Amino acid sequence: MAIRMVPDLGAPVTVVAVDLITESYAPGYNEWAAYILAAGGYLAAGFNWGGDFMKNVGIASFPWAAKKIYDRARGGVPVARRATAFKRVARYPAPALETPFGGVKLV
């Protein structure tokens, strides 16, 4: 059986592109995009809409959606989102890394 370019390779590339674009430009919608692609792909395949392309979109986006469901059920925030939540880290109570004028020599 030969690999067809649009249904077999185009669907996973579409899912990866949607994941990367929503993760970069709209991180709040990344989780919803995973659910929509997985459910939409399987529903469209069930109703015979879109042919093999939509079936493969559902299949390719299922691991992404399953990971989002797992993260949501675990109750934690994914590490990447948690790390970017804190924009500024203050070092006020800690001493400075080097003393002021520490490298100055009097001749």
Express each pLDDT in 14-61 by its tens digit: 999 999 999 999 999 999 999 999 999 999 999 999 889 999 999 999
pLDDT tens digits along 59-100: 999 999 999 999 999 886 555 555 555 556 555 666 667 777
Separation between Cα atoms, residue 76 and residue 59, nearest integer Å? 26
Query: Which is nearest to 62 in space by CA: 42, 87, 90?
Result: 42
pTM, 2 dp:
0.66
Q: Decide: 66 and 44 in contact? Cβ < 8 Å.
A: no
